[in-house]
Amino acid sequence: MTAVAHSPEPVTGLILSGGGARAAYQVGVLAAIADLLPDTSHNPFPVIVGTSAGAINAVGLACGALQFGEAVRRLTTVWQGFHTHMVYRSDWPGVLRQAARFIGHSLLGLGRDVPVALLDSSPLRELLQRELDFSGIAAAVRHRQLRAVAVTAFGYESGQAVTFYQGRATIDPWFRHRRVGVPTRLQLHHLLASASIPLIFPPVKINREYFGDGAVRQAAPISPALHLGASRVLVIGVSGNAQLEPNAALPRVASTRPPSLAQIGGHMLNSTFIDNLETDIELLERLNQMSALVPPERRPRGLGLNPVEVLVIAPSRPLDQIAARHQRELPKALRLFLRGPGATKAGGAGVLSYLLFEPGYCSELIELGYQDAMTRKADLCRFLGLAEVAQPA
């Protein structure tokens, strides 16, 4: 009698991209998912991967994976109560001191042994020390509510995107071109390194190398989740890029002035945080189309031809426009500091959308994420294997 082969249960991975204050949007999507779950203590994402600010959300979820709903509520409370001074120094003495250090370091070569950047992110360290209990990760793995959690940082000396992961002992490290996976016990410095936007926040030393934001040169943002065992992935993006209809004419742009430093910086940040993720999603969808042409029994093992289901939830409205409406929430010292480069003007609001850690802006992004997720409720329920439930009043 021939044994019947049963397909293994799918392993769902969650991808939380980087994006500074834009990551508040992810919390809204997660809150909607928590409302859709029949059992909010259950973690629907055995594999959680985050980069930059998404790494902070990822580890926050993993630390509370034994009580998923409570972990989401905690994240929501933190983001709704955010103020800029909780992430980086935004007072006059702090801004002026950091600006002087940056100029002295960059132009005069002073203090080269001390990491320097435009902003002082020491308040973020204090916040994460208060809010995160890293022992929850090991407990969730032990109780099989979590397979692995990972954060990615960029090594300035090696030029590699290093994914630090904590999970089951059966997960092997990986080595690819400029991409490696390293098993470790995640700690605070891994998060700070992953969230250190180049030039804006100072790099963080891990072992013998300084690391910065993991989105830099992360050519395959979805790859770590697959290495950790995910067979399908939910990607919560933060781009808010308007999608052109097929055959639609390109918008006509008229400008009489050269781009401001803030406009240039905004495009550079978008290139770092958004472009690689969107390209990786497009590549994965094409590979899925190719694998559909090959019968399952004829797919060579180890070549990555098994299809990977991808569901993407992304902002339905441009986040820079939302940020522009909330620019008055910035502390006065920081508004003046950013006025020269043009970040407080409409054209430079892209930079502002990454740095505006204020309750009005973050709360609006959370609400947008919640509504966007509920708009995709049927897709989410199908993807997570849930029966559709009525939306809470």
Active-site residue list? 52, 213
What is the pairing mode between strands 179-183 and 161-167? parallel
Question: What's phi and psi for 309, nearest 5 deg?
Answer: -70, 135
Spatial distance between the Cα atoms of 162 and 307, rounded to a whole number of angstroms = 25
- Give the DSSP letter of residue 243: P
| CB 29 within 8 Å of CB 61 | no
Residue with tokens 């992304």: 314
Burial 122-146 (b: 16+ CB within 10 A, else e): ebbeeebeeebebebbbebbeeebb
Tell me the β-bridge partners of 309. Answer: 232
Q: Are 353 and 21 in contact (CB under 8 A)?
A: yes
CB-side neighbour CA atoms (13 Å) of 243:
7
Q: Outline where 68-180 has alpha helix (H).
A: 68-80, 92-108, 122-131, 135-142
